[in-house]
């Protein structure tokens, strides 16, 4: 009757540190393309996928993503010269898995996620996923009356809407006024997320107005970007803070103004319609 030890699969030579070093030295000496055709290299990568499967799952990755990180590490001279090549590979895979997980959460590249200036931030979050009211969450959406005795708006104190509804209604408004739905959604959610990081709507407006990365990401002309900010956040002029123009679409929706009322705002409709980016499609070329 075979013992448990006898039943084990025989170990591959590369499972030991010196065996791995010998294989890596041989593959390096063989030159370009050696990894692709070598059966022992293929067995090594299968072993790496199994070896680091638990580590990959811990960080929400596929085992072969960890194996790819091991492959990158194994081709470096530092691993071949290390006292324990497997220890070096394991550490490299761990660091890469952490960076991959942070990059997925931060919506940035793995290269950026490795840098402390980016990795210190929390994971990205869709603004429309929040359950609480935006006016409760951040003071940038609050506008206190200039006079405590100021009357309620003419359309009455309707109940505040949810964040998700306000964002979706804003996207719908832009789409109705000629904006491509995908661009409208990306623009509204980007503006809302940056607003949460600002102390006021005016400071958010100034920060976003100079945000060239956002314009490039959304592929918006300067006039369209500025009009979008004015429409969503309101005019930054303090003298207009308590007016319809100063509140912006997001705040107007959050404090209860219905979408149909915004569609009756001729100035808003005209400005947003004229600012819609026009892109010629292949079938529309004359």
State percent of the chain over pLDDT 90: 23
85 pLDDT tier (thresholds 50, 70, 90)? very high
- State the chain's mean pLDDT as an integer: 78
In a domain, 243, yes or no: yes
Residues 57, 21 within the same domain: yes
Residues 29, 170 within the same domain: no
Out of 19-33, 85-99, 102-116, 156-170, least confident range: 156-170
In a domain, 283, yes or no: no
The last residue of a domain, from among 119, 135, 170: 119
In a domain, 4, yes or no: no
What is the reported pLDDT for 11? 77
What is the reported pLDDT for 8? 47
Q: CB under 8 Å to 177, separation ≥6 — which residues?
A: 269, 272, 273, 276
128 pLDDT tier (thresholds 50, 70, 90)? low
What is the reported pLDDT for 249? 86
In a domain, 150, yes or no: no
In the predicted model, what is the mean pLDDT of residues 57-76? Answer: 91
Residues 137, 170 within the same domain: yes
119 pLDDT tier (thresholds 50, 70, 90)? low
Residues 23, 161 within the same domain: no
Alpha-helix residue ranges (DSSP H) falling in the chain: 4-7, 17-30, 34-37, 39-51, 53-58, 63-74, 77-81, 85-106, 110-113, 116-119, 134-137, 163-176, 181-195, 201-209, 212-218, 222-233, 244-254, 259-263, 266-275
Domain enclosing residue 171, as ranges: 127-143+156-276
Q: What is the pLDDT of residues 178-205, one digit of tens each?
A: 888 888 888 888 888 887 777 777 778 8
In a domain, 112, yes or no: yes
Residues 104, 182 within the same domain: no
Q: Which residue has the tokens 């970007």?
A: 225
Residues 82, 114 within the same domain: yes
Q: Name the domain count of the chain.
A: 2
74 pLDDT tier (thresholds 50, 70, 90)? very high
What is the reported pLDDT for 266? 87
Please say whether the beta carbons of 268 and 262 come within 8 A.
yes
In the predicted model, what is the mean pLDDT of residues 208-237? Answer: 83
Higher pLDDT, 127 or 50: 50
- Tell me how far apart the alpha carbons of residues 87 and 18 are, in angstroms, rounded to a whole number: 12
In a domain, 151, yes or no: no
* CA–CA distances in Å: residue 72 to residues 38, 110, 112, 121, 228: 17, 14, 18, 27, 44
- Tell me how far apart the alpha carbons of residues 3 and 12 are, in angstroms, rounded to a whole number: 20
What is the reported pLDDT for 198? 73
Residues in the chain: 286
10 pLDDT tier (thresholds 50, 70, 90)? low
Residues 112, 161 within the same domain: no
Spatial CA neighbour of 59 closest among 96, 91, 114, 90: 96
């Amino acid at each position: 009757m075979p013992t448990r030890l006898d039943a084990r699969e025989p170990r591959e030579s590369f499972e030991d540190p010196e065996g791995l070093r010998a294989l890596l030295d041989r593959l390096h000496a063989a030159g370009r393309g050696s990894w692709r055709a070598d059966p022992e290299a293929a067995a090594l990568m299968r072993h790496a996928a199994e070896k680091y499967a638990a580590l990959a799952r811990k960080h929400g990755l596929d085992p072969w993503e960890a194996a790819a990180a091991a492959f990158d590490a194994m081709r470096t001279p530092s691993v071949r010269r290390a006292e324990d090549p497997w220890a070096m590979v394991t550490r490299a895979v761990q660091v890469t898995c952490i960076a991959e997980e942070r990059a997925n959460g931060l919506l940035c590249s793995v290269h950026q996620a490795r840098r402390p200036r980016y990795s210190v931030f929390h994971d990205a979050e869709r603004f429309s996923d929040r359950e609480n009211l935006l006016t409760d969450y951040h003071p940038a959406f609050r506008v206190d009356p200039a006079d405590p005795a100021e009357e309620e708006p003419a359309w009455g104190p309707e109940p505040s809407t949810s964040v998700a509804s306000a964002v979706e209604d804003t996207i719908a408004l832009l789409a109705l006024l000629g904006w491509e739905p995908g661009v409208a959604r990306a623009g509204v959610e980007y503006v809302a997320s940056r607003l949460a990081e600002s102390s006021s709507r005016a400071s958010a407006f100034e920060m976003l107005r100079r945000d060239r990365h956002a314009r490039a990401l959304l592929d918006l002309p300067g006039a369209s970007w500025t009009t979008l900010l004015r429409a969503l956040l309101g005019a930054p002029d303090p003298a207009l803070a308590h007016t319809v123009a100063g509140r912006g679409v997001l705040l107007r929706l959050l404090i209860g103004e219905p979408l149909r009322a915004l569609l009756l705002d001729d100035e808003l409709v005209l400005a947003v319609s004229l600012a819609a980016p026009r892109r010629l499609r292949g079938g529309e070329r004359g």
